[in-house]
């Protein structure tokens, strides 16, 4: 009887061990992932979760957090909780769109530029370095001012900032990989350039992307918030954390803290999620950082 109990508890312990991470880095990655996933779930099921319509006046203006409005109402009498939940959609959508654009453009051009070399490479490297040398936020402000507001336009403006990061990373890897013996061997069996780039070089490059991607995503969330804060992001009634933060900011002097605190907190949580995930993966994959 005692034996059975003992082995059972041992099984439970080892079961828990298997689920829970062992190293700090794994905790980082796991917590980051949980934060991101919960915000994604929130974004997807926003209409089901949100208690009110986020762009309608549903109560008095600037009501304190109460049972009716858990996080209070904003300056136009809209429910802050509902706005935050729908705001997750904007944040996730713009971030993912921006990252996908910069990832695909940056990786593709990096592959071509590194592989083709010569004048082609010089021109693209020059363009990318020029973009890279700009302060990111200023460049995004200029671009949104040029392109106008809207989800896609904002995503493009943010994508432009991060494209050079992927470009430079991929190009550097391609430059060393294209000299490697297995690429030469592929050429010796008569493989076309297209086959060499996509079947031999690309798979060896792509493994370095996730870390950069995660850290860029954290940055992109902040950039989006900054753009909206400055009123350059999305058109007015769209629920958007940065915009709400700015709107609530005006009432802080009157000790009305709830309209700005909660959107700000959401920005922090999502950014933290991406950063933790990025750092976690980085530390797990990079043996030089392990001690």
Partner 1 sequence: MQTLLEVRNLKVYYYLEDGIVKAVDGVNFFIRKGETVGLVGESGSGKSTFGLSLLRLVPTPGKIVGGQILFNGTDLARVEERRIRLLRGKRISMVFQDPMTSLNPLMRIEEHLMETIRIQERLTQKEAERRVKTLLSEVGIPPERGKDYPHQFSGGMRQRVGIALGIALNPDLLIADEFTSALDVIVQFQILSLMKKLRASHNMAMIFISHDISLVSEIADKIALMYAGQIVEFAPAVAFFEEHLHPYSRGLLDSVPNIELSDQTLSYIPGMPPDLINPPSGCRFYPRCPEAEDKCREKDPPLIEVKPEYWVKCFKYERKRR
Show the CA angle centred on residue 269, arms to residues 98 and 47, nearest 5°: 75
Task: Please select the residue that binds partner 1; options are 10, 23, 56, 192, rule is CB under 8 A.
Answer: 192
- Interface with partner 1 includes 189 (CB under 8 A)? yes
- Interface with partner 1 includes 48 (CB under 8 A)? no
Task: Please select the residue that binds partner 1; options are 184, 198, 250, 286, rule is CB under 8 A.
Answer: 184
- Give the binding-site size for partner 1 (rule: CB under 8 A): 18
Nearest residue (CB) to partner 1, 135 versus 190: 190
> Closest approach of Cβ 198 to partner 1, in Å?
12
Nearest CA to 229 out of 247, 251, 246, 248 is that of 246
- Interface with partner 1 includes 115 (CB under 8 A)? no
Q: Tell me the chain's radius of gyration from C-alpha atoms.
A: 24
Nearest residue (CB) to partner 1, 53 versus 204: 204
Nearest residue (CB) to partner 1, 119 versus 291: 119
DSSP result, 85-131: HHHHHHHHHHHHHHHHHHHHHHHHHHHHHHHH-HHHHHHHHHHHHHH
Task: Please select the residue that binds partner 1; options are 2, 18, 19, 181, rule is CB under 8 A.
Answer: 181
Nearest residue (CB) to partner 1, 26 versus 121: 121
Show the CA angle centred on residue 142, arms to residues 137 and 148, nearest 5°: 115
Task: Please select the residue that binds partner 1; options are 9, 24, 180, 286, rule is CB under 8 A.
Answer: 180
Show the CA angle centred on residue 135, arms to residues 130 and 141, nearest 5°: 105
């Amino acid at each position: 009887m005692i034996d059975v109990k003992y082995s059972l508890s041992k099984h439970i312990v080892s079961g828990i061990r298997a689920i829970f991470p062992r190293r700090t880095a794994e905790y980082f990655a796991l917590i980051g992932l949980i934060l991101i996933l919960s915000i994604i779930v929130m974004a997807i099921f926003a209409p089901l979760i949100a208690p009110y319509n986020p762009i309608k006046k549903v109560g008095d203006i600037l009501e304190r957090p109460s049972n009716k409005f858990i996080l209070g109402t904003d300056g136009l009498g809209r429910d802050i909780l509902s706005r935050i939940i729908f705001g997750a959609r904007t944040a996730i959508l713009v971030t993912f769109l921006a990252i996908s654009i910069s990832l695909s453009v940056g990786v593709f051009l990096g592959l071509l530029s590194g592989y083709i070399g010569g004048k082609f490479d010089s021109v693209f490297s020059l363009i990318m370095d020029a973009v890279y040398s700009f302060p990111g936020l200023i460049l995004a402000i200029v671009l949104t001012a040029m392109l106008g507001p809207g989800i896609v336009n904002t995503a493009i403006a943010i994508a432009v900032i991060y494209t050079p990061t992927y470009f430079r990373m991929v190009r550097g890897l391609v430059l060393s990989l294209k000299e490697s013996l297995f690429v030469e061997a592929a050429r010796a069996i008569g493989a076309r350039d297209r086959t060499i780039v996509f079947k031999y070089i690309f798979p060896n490059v792509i493994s370095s992307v996730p870390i950069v991607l995660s850290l860029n995503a954290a940055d992109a969330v902040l950039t989006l918030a900054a753009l909206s804060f400055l009123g350059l992001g999305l058109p007015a009634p769209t629920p958007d954390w940065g915009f709400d933060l700015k709107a609530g900011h005006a009432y802080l002097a009157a000790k009305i803290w709830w309209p700005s605190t909660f959107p700000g907190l959401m920005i922090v949580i999502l950014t933290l999620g991406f950063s933790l995930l990025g750092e976690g993966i980085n530390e797990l994959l990079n043996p030089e950082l392990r001690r």
